[in-house]
Structure 1
Amino acid sequence: MQMSIFRGAFAAVFCLAATAAGAQESNNRVAAHTDWSVFEAGDPAQCWSVSAPKEVVNTREGRPVEVNRSATLLFVSYIPSSSVAGQVSFTGGYPFRPDSTVTLDVGGTKFELFTEGEMAWSASDADDAKIITAMKRGSEAVLTGISSRGTQTQDTFSLFGFTAAVEEAEKRCSS
């Protein structure tokens, strides 16, 4: 459990910075591969591939609802100085229900992501590797979570360009 707490706290800090960078289309964007972008920052070196959902469905008690969410993004991060190599994380744009999980479904293969605040991430480096392999083979990733207010969200991400983006991010930050 201690590793999960570290992974989540680190991912939250990193991804919030990445979200701000992506929203501003800053100079840190170094490449675009179809539906995925690659960002790079220095001191310490950080690289990440990121995408926004193509489709968003929000429901409460089985009925569609309108909700206000901040940036909703799926990341794969590389930070050599912190031994982060291919960490999968997701920011849902709202606080997740405490002690809940997010389901990541890639072509029928499902993975569980743990949540803390607005972030979700896998439990281990081995899980990250399995998720990345599935995403390289898939065409879309569907993430389903529950907000602290009980709204179910389903975000569908295209995986077109994923392989090129994640491999470029990895190459730019290889240690």
Structure 2
Amino acid sequence: MTFKKLLTATAAILIVSSAASAAQTPTRMNQYNDWGTYAYNDSSGKVCYILSTPKQMQPSNVDHGDIFFLVSQKPGQGIAYEPQVVMGYDLKEGEKVEVDVDGTKYAMFSKNDSAWMENAAQEPQLVSALRAGRSMTISATSKRGTNTSYTYSLSGVTAALNSIADCK
């Protein structure tokens, strides 16, 4: 995916997912192997996040659209390291999305084309697992009933997270 396409898709994600019509186009700050860092300002202040795209998508014979995993830092809203998955399609209502980091599993609840941690208290554990891990797999079911999975590299995730730690 080209940088321009990624930035355009990311801006669309932020506007839709934050429901903030005042959201601005994010600025790319840096790239750490497979993870990029971005920032934008909204009505609550600066928002920083890291983002990656999958290395593998299954099943290979379907159009997945643009798929992203991001972890955001929203100091103006008191939110630190909030993981989120954004799919290129709507997810099946009521189905959980599973995040597997090197065998440790976490559940996310879904709404439309996005998913967030089912238990927000587990967000720090997931972020720690990302820092220590080698690979992450996301498993989900589309609104049409297609079971999908996405494998991400965690190369660069620690450096990317460290770079947004002081988001202000």
State the TM-score bracket (shorter-chain normalisation): 0.7 to 0.9
Write 1 or 2 for the structure with the bigger share of helix.
1
Unaligned runs of 5+ in 2: 1-13
Q: How does 1:65-144 map to 2 (within 5 A)?
A: 66-144=61-139
Residue 11 of structure 1: how far off its partner (Å): 9.7
Secondary structure of the 2:166 match is: helix
Q: Within 1, Cα distance between the matches of 2:90 and 2:20?
A: 13
Q: Within 2, Cα distance between the matches of 1:16 and 1:118?
A: 17
Using the aligned pairs only, state the percent identity: 26
Unaligned runs of 5+ in 1: 1-9, 59-64
Q: Within 2, Cα distance between the matches of 1:140 and 1:42?
A: 31
Residue 16 of structure 1: how far off its partner (Å): 9.9
Residue 170 of structure 1: how far off its partner (Å): 2.1
Q: Within 2, Cα distance between the matches of 1:124 and 1:171?
A: 25
TM-score normalised to structure 1 length = 0.79
More relative contact order, 1 or 2 (CA 8 Å, 6+ apart): 1
Residue 47 of structure 1: how far off its partner (Å): 0.1
Count of residues paired in the alignment: 151
Change (3 A) 1:72 1:97: same
TM-score normalised to structure 2 length = 0.82
Aligned-pair RMSD on alpha carbons?
Answer: 2.4
Runs of 4+ residues deviating >4 angstroms? none
Q: Give yes or no for contact 1:140–1:158 (8 Å, CA) kept in 2.
A: yes
Change (3 A) 1:131 1:93: same
